[in-house]
Structure 1
Amino acid sequence: KPYKCNSCEKSFKQASNLKNHYRIHTEEKPFKCNVCEKSFKQAGHLKAHQRIHTEEKPFTCDVCEKSFKQASYLKIHKVIHTDAKPYKCTVCEKSFKQASNLKTHKVIHTEAKPYKCTVCEKSFKHASHFKEHKRIHTDEKPYKCTVCEKSFKHAGHFKEHKRIHSEEKPYKCNVCEKSFKQASTLKTHKVIHTEAKPYKCTVCEKSFKHAGHFKEHKRIHTEAKPYKCTVCEKLFKKASALKKHEVSHTEAKPYKCTVCEKSFKKTDHLKSHHRIHTDEKPYQCNVCEKSFKQAGHLKFHQMIHTEEKPYTCGVCEKSFKQANDLKRHLMIHTGEKPYQCNVCEKSFKRANDLKIHLMIHTGEKPYQCNVCEKSFKRADDLKRHHRIHTEDKLYQCNVCEKSFKQAGDLKRHRRIHTEDKLYQCSVCEKSFKEARYLKSHQIIHTGAKPYKCNVCEKSFKESGNLKVHQLIHTRAKPYKCNVCEKSFKQSEHKRIHTEEKPYKCNVCEKSFKQASTLKKHKVIHTEAKPYKCTVCEKSFKHASDLKIHHVIHTEAKPYKCTVCEKSFKHASALKVHQMIHTEEKPYQCNVERQPRVYHHYV
């Protein structure tokens, strides 16, 4: 090697190589790009750089025909097609396919962090990590997508993003042959095929399959929220949570469904939405083999088999299966309602509740039943509705083995077997088994009737009563009996054929077909008369009795005969009167057949 550098004494075979080498010491960059004016020390580096602007990829893999901009990239790529890992760590003997990966790995065995940020003094083991970090302070996003013009700070993120615009999935699982767009997604997927959980928490000893999940879990034991929103300064425990939050400050929805053209703010939401059109359920429970469209739904389902409730409230010590459930629960103690409607300014505890509420103003019902074409505002409502068309009853009581179509119905049913009344009225301290019963009860103290009919403007205390009332105007009878094929406004009719009486009095053990009938019956066992007339102060056990009584104080006769137009104060009086026109005599004496004798039966 006759050509020697007089600065560092390194030797070269050719004069041109020495000439190129000298530029390391001089920082000279004579080769300039005529597109972006970036300069380079060597002609080869400029040539490789120019392919960024031309999209030229002259180096093709002879195995899979994938093309690359540089020969070095092709060389690195070819290792994918072999199991060779020629680069071995001398400390732990771990092997790698690429020299760069070995170099990156070796830093693990040292505490050295030679790359220090001059702005925040944070140190890094790798130059590439340091380079990426600096962009936090500069907000530089050098990688720009030519399709949607979105910019990125990191080349890796840009590379992953470009696959959104293509169907390329270069990373294939060697067990089940499923393909992925990202190497990290393949790595995460591969854990499904093993039972290994290498990441163990030193505080609670819980183990995890993925480093990311372990990292997130550790924050449960601390109050650390390292991710800060630059707009509203809100703090988050997870980078993904910050990323999701940041979308709330923009109206952009860059991810569009190619089937129905609906747009989404996040790729995950688009991916989940796509499964509506394909009915794909890729996430399967390894206990009962039930499949789900989303990983989160599978994770939640699996807790049914474990009864695990890892999230505990620090105020009342109640435990929850999901972090979101705990977060919602905490609002009971704080009264916080952070989600406000920009139309009517009503506030909500949950973002989803606000989303559903907004549909009141828009009339939107995006979820349609493919059997009867009925539309719904929420996916959950559609899911529940679907069970009308099937006999599926997935939720079974472990006490009496009765099955239910909906999880909520099972939850309510279970309280029959217990005396739990978790919901207490703050005015009279009366307790209830369900939140909805407490909500209905509280209206007694306020007299409010928030549910108003948009046809006749009559108001009701409960939404269910309004719903039943509205059937008067529509004449709709949505519940058809599959035994006698008769249609009804309400669903209770079926119990005529089954003789089922699921509502049992805990005093005398008498059973009833309807919960409302049991409620009325229970008053017999008490002296309570909670319904009081505001005119004469007379009290009644039942609201219906008070309603009938009120007519005494008015001249109103709301019940009118359609034949002779005679009016009556009570519906029962009208019913008796109508028999004059029909000659109907439904009541027969079983002692002596004398139907003409009035009040004959004693």
Structure 2
Amino acid sequence: MRVGVNHQCDICGKYFYRAAYLKRHLDIHMSLKNKCEICGKEFAGKSTLTGHVNTHIGLKNMGCNICGKTFHHGSNLKKHMVVHTGKQNHKCDICAMEFHWKSDMMRHMDIHTGQRNHKCDICGKAFNRKSNQKYHMDRHTGQKNHKCDICGKAFHHKGHLNNHTNIHTGQRYHKCDVCGKAFHCKSHLEKHMDIHTGQRNYCCDICGKAFHQGSDLKNHMDIHTGQRNYCCDICGKAFHQGSDLKNHMDIHTSQRNYCCDICGKAFHQVSGLKNHMVMHTGQQNHKCDICALEFHQRSAMRRHMDIHTGQRNHKCDICGKAFHHKSYLKYHMDIHTGRRNHKCDICGKAFHHKGHLNNHTNIHTGQRYHKCDVCGKAFHCKSHLEKHMDIHTGQRNYCCDICGKAFHQGSDLKNHMDIHTGQRNYCCDICGKAFHQGSDLKNHMDIHTSQRNYCCDICGKAFHQVSGLKNHMVMHTGQQNHKCDICALEFHQRSAMRRHMDIHTGQRNHKCDICGKAFHHKSYLKYHMDIHTGRRNHKCDICGKAFHHKSYLKYHMDTHTGQKSHKCDICGKAFHHGSNLKNHMDIHTGQRNHKCDICEKAFHHKSHLENHMDIHTGQRNHCCDICGKSFHQGISRKNHMVKHTGKQNHKCDICAMEFHRRSNMRRHMDIHTGQRNHNCDICGKAYHHKGNLNNHMNIHTGQRYHKCDVCGKAFHCKSHLEKHMDIHTGQ
């Protein structure tokens, strides 16, 4: 029995404070009732019936002089006036909590006594008041008698409908005295006040986490027990709370009722819209106490704090990897299962996460919501903007302990560490090649499938990745934004400039284990290794010739097609490759930057100097398998082999004379045309070929580079030495 409740009903056992209340209650049992003619409900008192009838006819005669709110019954107005006065005359003797009305205090006392006399016959749940049991029964029956006239939404209780109506009207009667924030219903204000007081009376016995309300603690306990009573009928997904299931159903119906007035983006829930609006205002109210980083939302800051504490409570059962947040573990599990539920309607590409699909869709639509305030550049997703901002700030907080290299993001540092450890966890099932990152493996797979989804609108060339297309487009614009500080040479890409810088520094970190030759770049070493292994993976479909590198095959294909895209503006000569045109231009400018340290002879190209050095060293590594003759260069041996085969593919159109090599035929054509473009500056004698002029100049200078190893006699040109050697051999 409650304290101070001395009057008990002999029929139902209910207690009352006063005898008058008990007497009125007994009239109910004695059937002294006043019946409503509209709904049939019966009441003990006539005044109570009158107030009830006003509910049906919508009559509210009792109005508040302060806020204008009207009521059906005078007793309701009396209770309402206490809210304006702020007077709380009823105090709990146990916890000292104060209330406006005695009825509220009586209901509160049931929390301390634990008394719940009204039990549900279906699920066994007990309640303090009969009205609470009645509302609970509506959940089992699904009965919602109170419907909103504006949006049609129905509710179990009229009070819930009233709170919901305030959302449509925008009325917020319940205002916080501390910060002035107003709310639609009183319960929201009460929850809000706990933020100011910091009061959390409901504590979890398992993990110690505290909550403002008992309902929050109850929902939290479902996480420990794993109980999920609310299941989706469409996809079978289960939830701890009914509200979570309700929000989930909006995904299936695609209903997004909450729309942003600035960018038009729509959301399933009002909370999603609220969080989104912070992005437009740029307001970041949540600051990290350790690194001072600011965030739009408190949840984002909490996740950030796990980086400082190193706490990773969510572990993968398959590979053992741990994560700061449960959602990250969930996305990670999709990698193991291969599940990709979010598919692009345009290109069919599937993603593990919906956010990734949204960012991908922006590529098709061309929408770039995230703009840099410094340079104005816009991006499809926020993460790309954040990475871009590090370029302006120059901030690199993640440093490698081994080589000291710094990175903008922790993920970049992690990928870099795989280079030091040599760890390659992503392996190709077709060719067995392994990669440091999953993205590299994915790009590699496009080579096997020959899939090239990114096409150039100007020349039609297709690429595996969008980055490849982007780099290619710079070639068409001719824009060279990356300049060398030493020689002022300009480049289309930063990576090309970095490789160029190694020429100035002389740094060659990539060394061949077989011959010891060093290279500026790892890719150059890779191509070089193919020479030792003899591997030629790139084969011509026309003649069957194979090459070490794909670019060599490409140049070779121009031989079949006859395409020469690079033309000299001075003499009109065309070339297959841009580098050949560049070397050719040195002939017109007379520039010879590569000089021999022994004889001081200068050359247009570095490879020509290297070939020349073999003359001084006497090194002849390329030997004929038939006659044993050796050569300084492989191309010389190749030209020599034509003599053994007797094949003469180049024929003169005038005299039908045939030649082994095209260059010999060209020199022969000068005889028919009489063209002699190479004149001696001393005696004026003219020659068909520049090599003949060089040999002639040795006569004037007296230089004899070609010496006989047998008798020591020297000659002006190589051909004279070869004729002389026949004397010793008797050939």
Do residues 362 (structure 1) and 368 (structure 2) align?
no
Q: Residues of 1 paired with 2:403 and 2:192: CA distance?
A: 41
Q: Residues of 2 paired with 1:30 and 1:507: CA distance?
A: 101
Q: Residues of 2 paired with 1:491 and 1:314: CA distance?
A: 42
Check the 8 A contact 1:59/1:68 in 2, yes or no.
no
Residue 271 of structure 1 and its aligned partner are, at CA, apart by 0.8
Question: Which residue of 1 is the match for residue 658 of structure 2?
Answer: none
Residues 468 and 187 from structure 1, CA distance in 2 versus in 1: closer, same or farther, beyond 3 angstroms? same
Residues 75 and 337 from structure 1, CA distance in 2 versus in 1: closer, same or farther, beyond 3 angstroms? same
Question: Which residue of 2 is the match for residue 199 of structure 1?
Answer: 203
Give ranges in structure 1 of 5+ residues lacking alignment: none
Choose the corresponding residue for 1:469, options 472, 476, 481.
472
| Aligned AA (1:574) | L
Identical pairs, percent: 25
Question: Which residue of 2 is the match for residue 561 of structure 1?
Answer: 567
Residue 281 of structure 1 and its aligned partner are, at CA, apart by 1.3
Q: Residues of 2 paired with 1:209 and 1:223: CA distance?
A: 19
Question: Which residue of 1 is the match for residue 77 of structure 2?
Answer: 71
Residues 593 and 367 from structure 1, CA distance in 2 versus in 1: closer, same or farther, beyond 3 angstroms? same
Choose the corresponding residue for 2:97, options 70, 95, 110.
95
Check the 8 A contact 1:341/1:347 in 2, yes or no.
yes
Choose the corresponding residue for 1:333, options 336, 344, 362.
336
Question: Which residue of 1 is the match for residue 591 of structure 2?
Answer: 585
Question: Secondary structure of the equivalent of 2:319?
Answer: coil
Q: Residues of 2 paired with 1:164 and 1:411: CA distance?
A: 51
Residue 512 of structure 1 and its aligned partner are, at CA, apart by 9.3
Q: Residues of 2 paired with 1:293 and 1:474: CA distance?
A: 40
TM-score normalised to the size of structure 2?
Answer: 0.64
Residues 317 and 193 from structure 1, CA distance in 2 versus in 1: closer, same or farther, beyond 3 angstroms? farther
Moved more, 369-378 or 396-405: 396-405
CA offset digits 1:284-336 (Å, max 9, x no partner): 32433322112231122111012111112233332222212211122223222
Residue 113 of structure 1 and its aligned partner are, at CA, apart by 6.4
Question: Which residue of 1 is the match for residue 110 of structure 2?
Answer: 106
Residues 386 and 551 from structure 1, CA distance in 2 versus in 1: closer, same or farther, beyond 3 angstroms? same
Check the 8 A contact 1:95/1:102 in 2, yes or no.
no
Question: Secondary structure of the equivalent of 1:457?
Answer: coil
Residues 549 and 212 from structure 1, CA distance in 2 versus in 1: closer, same or farther, beyond 3 angstroms? farther
Question: Which residue of 2 is the match for residue 518 of structure 1?
Answer: 522
**1:101-250 paired onto structure 2 within 5 Å:** 103-104=107-108, 106-107=110-111, 109-110=113-114, 112=116, 114-116=118-120, 118=122, 121-126=123-128, 127-144=130-147, 150-153=153-156, 155-156=159-160, 159=163, 162-163=166-167, 166=170, 168=172, 170-172=174-176, 174=178, 177=179, 179=181, 181=183, 183-184=187-188, 187=191, 190=194, 199-200=203-204, 202=206, 205=207, 207=209, 218-219=221-222, 221-250=224-253
Do residues 307 (structure 1) and 314 (structure 2) align?
no
Residues 532 and 172 from structure 1, CA distance in 2 versus in 1: closer, same or farther, beyond 3 angstroms? same
| Aligned AA (2:581) | L
Question: Which residue of 2 is the match for residue 289 of structure 1?
Answer: 292
Question: Secondary structure of the equivalent of 1:297?
Answer: helix
Q: Residues of 1 paired with 2:221 and 2:519: CA distance?
A: 52
| Aligned AA (2:107) | K
Residue 44 of structure 1 and its aligned partner are, at CA, apart by 6.3
Check the 8 A contact 2:558/2:564 in 1, yes or no.
no
Question: Which residue of 2 is the match for residue 411 of structure 1?
Answer: 414
Check the 8 A contact 2:27/2:33 in 1, yes or no.
no
Q: Residues of 2 paired with 1:6 and 1:491: CA distance?
A: 94
Question: Which residue of 1 is the match for residue 697 of structure 2?
Answer: none
Check the 8 A contact 2:341/2:350 in 1, yes or no.
yes
Do residues 534 (structure 1) and 536 (structure 2) align?
no
Q: Residues of 1 paired with 2:483 and 2:201: CA distance?
A: 52
Q: Residues of 2 paired with 1:6 and 1:416: CA distance?
A: 86
Residue 532 of structure 1 and its aligned partner are, at CA, apart by 0.4
Check the 8 A contact 2:194/2:200 in 1, yes or no.
no
Paired residues, number: 572
Q: Residues of 1 paired with 2:30 and 2:431: CA distance?
A: 84
Question: Which residue of 2 is the match for residue 435 of structure 1?
Answer: 438
Moved more, 245-254 or 519-528: 519-528
Residue 76 of structure 1 and its aligned partner are, at CA, apart by 5.6
Moved more, 214-223 or 122-131: 214-223
Q: Residues of 2 paired with 1:410 and 1:82: CA distance?
A: 62
Moved more, 214-223 or 456-465: 214-223
Check the 8 A contact 1:171/1:186 in 2, yes or no.
no
Residues 446 and 193 from structure 1, CA distance in 2 versus in 1: closer, same or farther, beyond 3 angstroms? farther
Check the 8 A contact 1:172/1:179 in 2, yes or no.
yes
Residue 444 of structure 1 and its aligned partner are, at CA, apart by 4.0
| Aligned AA (2:582) | K
Residue 405 of structure 1 and its aligned partner are, at CA, apart by 3.0
Q: Residues of 1 paired with 2:587 and 2:259: CA distance?
A: 67
Question: Secondary structure of the equivalent of 1:88?
Answer: coil
Q: Residues of 2 paired with 1:103 and 1:397: CA distance?
A: 63
RMSD, matched Cα: 5.0
Residue 373 of structure 1 and its aligned partner are, at CA, apart by 3.6
Residues 590 and 418 from structure 1, CA distance in 2 versus in 1: closer, same or farther, beyond 3 angstroms? same
Q: Residues of 1 paired with 2:344 and 2:62: CA distance?
A: 51
Q: Residues of 1 paired with 2:493 and 2:423: CA distance?
A: 29
Residue 139 of structure 1 and its aligned partner are, at CA, apart by 4.4
Do residues 58 (structure 1) and 61 (structure 2) align?
no
Residue 260 of structure 1 and its aligned partner are, at CA, apart by 4.6
Question: Which residue of 1 is the match for residue 582 of structure 2?
Answer: 575
Q: Residues of 1 paired with 2:304 and 2:246: CA distance?
A: 26
Residue 459 of structure 1 and its aligned partner are, at CA, apart by 1.9
**Rg larger in 1 or in 2?**
2
CA offset digits 1:160-198 (Å, max 9, x no partner): 673476384845385xx3736375576478468869796
Residue 58 of structure 1 and its aligned partner are, at CA, apart by 1.3
Do residues 424 (structure 1) and 419 (structure 2) align?
no
Check the 8 A contact 2:147/2:161 in 1, yes or no.
no
Check the 8 A contact 1:191/1:209 in 2, yes or no.
no
Do residues 379 (structure 1) and 382 (structure 2) align?
yes
| Aligned AA (1:456) | C
Choose the corresponding residue for 1:253, options 238, 252, 256.
256
Q: Residues of 2 paired with 1:136 and 1:304: CA distance?
A: 43
Residue 239 of structure 1 and its aligned partner are, at CA, apart by 4.1
Question: Which residue of 1 is the match for residue 282 of structure 2?
Answer: 279
Residues 346 and 442 from structure 1, CA distance in 2 versus in 1: closer, same or farther, beyond 3 angstroms? closer
